[in-house]
Amino acid sequence: MKIKILGSGQDDGIPQIGCYCKTCNSARKQKKSRRLGPSIALISKKEKLCYLFDVSPDLKYQIDMLKGEGVRVKRKGQLPISGIFLTHAHFGHCSGIWCLGRESVDERNLPVFCTPKMGSFLNTNYPFNMLIKRKNIVIKKLIVGREIKMKNFNLSVFEVPHRNEIADTIGYEIQTKKRVLYIPDVDCWTEEIIDRIKEVEIAIIDGTFYSKSELSRYNDVPHPPIQDTMRRLRGAKTQIYFTHINHTNSVNTNREKRRYVENRGFHIAYDGMSISV
Ligand SMILES: [Zn+2]
Ligand SMILES: [Zn+2]
Ligand SMILES: [Zn+2]
């Protein structure tokens, strides 16, 4: 199986709306500098199945990125995905669901896996509740600590400290031949999460900022900066990929900074990147 990074950017991706910094301008000019909203696809070519983890506002471009991956469309006119797993309710991670309704693709009974709290948010708020009512999507509840068996992989979820104004936030451990963590959005690392990262083969984790000083309103939107995360994970055997990268992050345009990260054995995710799992 493989994981394809469909979006390696922070919620609004790069370029960010209304921003004309060097990084955003360069992303407007060339596609390779662009980062779509945060999402990954877990793809089984053998079974022709594809599951998305988080659905960003850039979903329509991300569905196009599945072309050539051998995934199956269940019904003509529907999307080539068998289900969606959500981490939390922030805009960049779930708003793509809005594209599944009658106004566009009019999906039929697409399973959306999330926590009971997140499910209750979707059930009680427009437009998500309309999608449930019209059976475009079906909510499947995930319980922290309980393993889920899918056709060709297992999965478990765990709580993640993050701004939970709306619902709660989880990270995923996906078990294929390898153990893979997906934690795109977190306020800070706990000892427990650091231990989890060290135990698995692959971890795709929050790399929003390089340093705390790059955004003046850092305290409103805290994330563990890459430079601290590298220090905490020094010596780990895990293959680590930083994702959810903000336009302010210097790894976007500063080659030396990027090399510094890579020379320490860490990877910076990019849109379209494939990771064998
Ligand atoms: Zn986010
Ligand atoms: Zn910018
Ligand atoms: Zn968030």
- Give the residue ranges of the chain where pLDDT is below 70: none
Query: pLDDT value at position 215?
Result: 82
| CATH classification of the domain holding 234 | 3.60.15.10
209 C-alpha to ligand 2 centroid (Å):
13
Q: Which amino acid is at 274?
A: S
Q: Ligand 2 is a single-atom ion; what residues have CB below 5 A from it?
A: 16, 19, 21, 24, 247
Taking the C-alpha atoms of residue 89 and residue 44, their distance in angstroms, rounded to an integer, is 27
Helices (H), the chain: 22-29, 59-64, 91-94, 116-124, 128-133, 191-199, 226-232, 255-263
22 C-alpha to ligand 3 centroid (Å):
25
27 C-alpha to ligand 2 centroid (Å):
9
SS3 of the chain: helix, strand, coil, percent, to 5: 25, 25, 50
Cβ atoms of 23 and 252 within 8 Å: the answer is yes
Domain count across the chain: 1
Taking the C-alpha atoms of residue 253 and residue 249, their distance in angstroms, rounded to an integer, is 8
Range of the domain at 72: 2-276
Taking the C-alpha atoms of residue 101 and residue 99, their distance in angstroms, rounded to an integer, is 6
Nearest ligand for residue 9 CA: 1
Cβ atoms of 166 and 89 within 8 Å: the answer is yes
